[in-house]
Structure 1
Amino acid sequence: MTTAPLGLGTYRLQPRVVLEAAYRAAEDPATAWVDTAPNYLGGQAQTLLAPALAQRPVPVSTKVGFLTTETATTAIRDGALTLTEAETGHCLTARYVHWQCARNRTELGRDRLHLVFVHNPERTVGTPHEALRRAFTALEEEVQAGAVDTYGVATWDGFDTQAFTVPELDRLATEAAGTAQHHLRAVQLPVSLVTAHAFTQALAGEGPIAQAAARGWAVYASAPLFGGELSELATRELADLIRPDLNVPQVCLLAAASCPGVTRVLLSASSPAHWAEARAALREPPVPTPTLRKVLDVLASD
């Protein structure tokens, strides 16, 4: 068992620090990763990242699904979106997925996208399964065209609400590709001491994290500090159960990175000090599973 490496999440970064944060994330080529989306930072995230990405060969994951006002206006003009579709703020039609992938490449300054997540498909109008099938079909076509390497699903509560399961995602990707050798290779979901349902399941070898890991998919843990709130919710006493020599945010981050099956933890760290603390925490040995179970039991009893 190893501790999952750190990746830069850009959802909560301030625009003025995006470039510096991306440079910091690229410092260690062995673990460098940036996760973004076309709707992050009011639609600015990808263009703000582009200068750093042009100078560093950092792998990047981006997304398709959500619309900003400007994105919707441009997509309507280009014939990729109808007015009705734009009103929902979220679209996963094949036409829109193709259009958004092309726009992502332009904004990021990349000829090829490494990983594209279908973003919160539980938010789609209609049934998530039909939307996912359409999106997966479009993304398989992007892969065949040499424009995308792999794709995945990023969700907030889709697994918890049973909007879809990992086996269902696997089946839908197989249908989209026409073969079990599809290119669905990752899931992203919240993993923290607060958003602990999937975490607890993983400790028992069950649930979406374990199911994805069993298929050889990457598992990206989002919101490991619960938007920064976890540092206020966790106590020093709780942290001491895990690693007394680390501060509370470091302990919470290490716990998420120690979840069996998690392959990367995404953190929106704005300052050099916070990034350095996070990297130091994840150089620690993973927290043993029995200790994680004990901590989650304590939290569940509060």
Structure 2
Amino acid sequence: MTAQLGLGTYRCLDVAEAALMAASRGADWVDTAPNYAGGQAETALAVTLAAYPDLCVSTKVGFVPASAMHIGVRAGALSAADAERGHCLTPGYISWQLARSRLTLGRVPDLVFVHNPEHACPDAEITGRLYNAFLTLEEACSQQIISAYGVATWRGFSNGLFDVPALLELAAKAGGPKHHLRAIQLPVSLVHLASVAQALDGRGPLADALAAGLEVFASAPLHGGAIPGMVTPELSELINPGNTPTEAALAVVASAPGVKRVLLSTGNPEHWMWAAEAVGRPSLSPDALRRVVDVLGT
């Protein structure tokens, strides 16, 4: 398969342990956010990032860690209302959070995602919110505070709030033809199959990202660990004969057109190796993916 397995830290019980485990077993990417692990995920990653300088890291801006609420207000980076809301994408907060993330991680992040820009945002204001965020991130790129940016969303694409062409247009408006928009992140799984079905028809966020050269990070590939228990032996055999339910579920995600990285949250070495082996196998054919979509729907 063309996709690679990366560590997602959203559901990791011990981020430091999970990162060392994954890095020592060949992981090339770890994805995090300032609000993960009770606001301590970036701190927990610093030791592993120092020990494995080739390990890439992506973080996010948007959600406000509870531990940073009062600090941000005192620093003038957050209004009291935004702190209470727990999410903010104002230029001042983004710049402040980027500086904190760089200091905490101990390096320039390889990628910074705008985290769920749709959160508590009226539909009519989403374009302006994204554009202003992109302006701030382009400035951070020009100052080498970050290397590149992207958009991580749970429902922005599925709800039609924005699409990849719209994001590219905003990035070009904010940063010109050499803008630094490089990736998108969205849920792709047997529960979230719509983007896979669209990609098989050459449309939707996965196909659009592939055409534009954007990297696609597939989040929640096992839907918080729920999917293996939902996959029957018959479905597993339909997807890929001889696979376990977990392997079959990951095979669908890793085979989806355009998916570059599959983000798995685990600190279990055996689970990681099983997943890495499943993702590393030859891709399922488009016909096999269509059969899955036909059986499960979108």
Please state which band the TM-score falls in when normalised by the shorter chain: over 0.9
Partner of 1:52: 48
Partner of 1:182: 179
Aligned partners of 1:137 and 1:8: how far apart in 2? 29
Match for 1:149 among 128, 133, 147?
147
Q: SS state of the match for residue 185, structure 1?
A: strand
Partner of 2:8: 9
**How far off is 1:12 after superposition?**
0.4
CA RMSD of aligned residues (A): 1.3
2:72–2:78: 8 Å Cα contact kept in structure 1? Answer: yes
Partner of 2:36: 40
1:3–1:284: 8 Å Cα contact kept in structure 2? Answer: no
**How far off is 1:28 after superposition?**
5.5
Compared CA separation, residues 176 and 148, structure 1 to 2 (3 A)? same
Partner of 1:113: 109
Which moved further from structure 2: 292-301 or 36-45? Answer: 292-301
| TM-score relative to the length of structure 1 | 0.95
Match for 1:164 among 148, 162, 165?
162
Partner of 2:289: 292
Matches within 5 A, 1:11-26: 11-15=10-14, 18-26=15-23
Partner of 1:134: 132
Q: Deviations over 1:198-228 (max 9, x none)?
A: 1111111110111011110000000011111
Q: SS state of the match for residue 154, structure 2?
A: coil
**How far off is 1:124 after superposition?**
4.3
Q: Deviations over 1:228-256 (max 9, x none)?
A: 11111111111101222221011101110
**How far off is 1:93 after superposition?**
0.5
1:25–1:33: 8 Å Cα contact kept in structure 2? Answer: no
1:38–1:63: 8 Å Cα contact kept in structure 2? Answer: yes
What amino acid is the match of 1:146? Q
Match for 2:247 among 250, 260, 281?
250
Partner of 2:268: 271
Matches within 5 A, 1:60-99: 60-99=57-96
What amino acid is the match of 1:96? Y
What amino acid is the match of 1:241? L
| TM-score relative to the length of structure 2 | 0.96
What amino acid is the match of 2:64? L
What amino acid is the match of 1:239? S
Aligned partners of 2:263 and 2:178: how far apart in 1? 27
What amino acid is the match of 2:13? Q
Aligned partners of 1:108 and 1:244: how far apart in 2? 42
2:58–2:110: 8 Å Cα contact kept in structure 1? Answer: yes
Q: Deviations over 1:265-297 (max 9, x none)?
A: 000022111001101111211111100110111
**How far off is 1:24 after superposition?**
2.7
Which moved further from structure 2: 151-160 or 20-29? Answer: 20-29
1:152–1:184: 8 Å Cα contact kept in structure 2? Answer: yes
1:91–1:124: 8 Å Cα contact kept in structure 2? Answer: no
2:21–2:267: 8 Å Cα contact kept in structure 1? Answer: no
Aligned partners of 2:249 and 2:206: how far apart in 1? 18
Aligned partners of 1:174 and 1:103: how far apart in 2? 27
What amino acid is the match of 1:243? N
Q: SS state of the match for residue 161, structure 1?
A: coil
Aligned partners of 1:283 and 1:82: how far apart in 2? 46
Say whether residues 1:228 and 2:228 are aligned partners: no
Q: Sequence identity of aligned pairs in percent?
A: 50
Say whether residues 1:240 and 2:225 are aligned partners: no
